[in-house]
Amino acid sequence: MTTTTTAGARVPSDLAAALLSAALLGASLPALAQAGQALEQDLVRVDAAVSAVETAIVRAAGEGGELREARESADGEQAAAAAEDQASPPASAASAAEPAAAGQAGAAAAAADETPAPGPRVRNRLDPWENWNRKVFNFNEKLDEHVLRPVATAYSDLVPQPARQAVDNFFGNFSDAWSAINLFLQGRFKNGATQTMRVAVNSVFGIAGLIDIATPAGLEKTSEDLGRTLGYWGVKTGPYIVWPLLGPSSLRDSVTLPVNVYYSPAYLFDDGEYKFAITALQVINTRANLLRVTDMLDGIALDKYTFVRDAYLQRRNVKTHKEQEEEDDYEVISPDEKPVNPQSDR
């Protein structure tokens, strides 16, 4: 295919098409450049918009945290205010409670004026002289600490145990003789006869009581004195008393104390020196036997005076013959025996 130019020359169709395309491209280049610039500006606007969105997101997150902290602080303030409201009543309630409290206080004061003042409080009805007894007890404790305990400790260290046991048996034999007399005074003749047999066996076969043969032979020891005999016949113990040097006692036992002392081994001798020596030996030997007990008592007793008082009163508490007779009147049924069922015969 051929075309004709203005000059009349004939030009091939392909060349004409190429020339037309070049002309059109040259004409469209300014438009393309302008479109590229517009596209570049749009990309810049998009980047700016993205940055703005990111900034807004960060700002929104920060504002959310501040808002959460503000809410938490507000909740804490509300809780504190509620606690204060619960702790302190309203002014109206307080003002209403004041007259009632004043009225109650006035009534209590009036009742206190009308009620007589109570008397002095007694700690223990069996120890009405406790203040004085504690002073004597402290004196005896000091005497024991500085004199009796050191002497008893030296006696226990120097004298062999068999010798100390023989001395203890000798004094115990005299105590058994006095116990036998009191058992007869109590009307307990069977026990009195057993105790008399015990004294006889130890006096004859035990070399004046130095050896205890009666206990292995089955003759048990029963300790009694005149104070317990009076208690057996219904005499009450009476107030608790602490005597200097002699220690704890009671009103009943204090009355019988001279008789109990009179029937001690020391009064077998007329010479005063022998009496003093026998008495001193008896006291030291008795104190030596109590060394372990007192050491343990010093370690465990919070109030030594109260402990000694209660132990003494409990040991000196004696059942009267009437109480023992009432106990003997009860029928004792062994586990093998069965009570008679009146309905079994029907």
pLDDT for the residue numbered 62: 62
Nearest to 186 by CA among 227, 245, 139, 216: 227
pLDDT for the residue numbered 43: 60
Cα separations in angstroms, 180 against 221, 286, 324: 10, 21, 19
* Residue 209 contacts residue 198 (beta carbons within 8 Å): no
Residues of the chain with pLDDT under 50: 1-11, 87-102, 105, 109, 112-122, 331-335, 337-340, 342, 344-346
* Residue 209 contacts residue 174 (beta carbons within 8 Å): yes
Summarised one tens digit per residue, pLDDT across range 40-71 is 666 667 566 656 656 766 576 565 555 566 56
Tokens standing for 248? 């704890």
DSSP state of 196: H
pLDDT for the residue numbered 118: 45
pLDDT for the residue numbered 239: 94
Cα separations in angstroms, 138 against 143, 242, 303: 9, 10, 12
3-state secondary structure of 241: strand
Write down the residue that tokens 């026990």 correspond to: 191
pLDDT for the residue numbered 63: 59
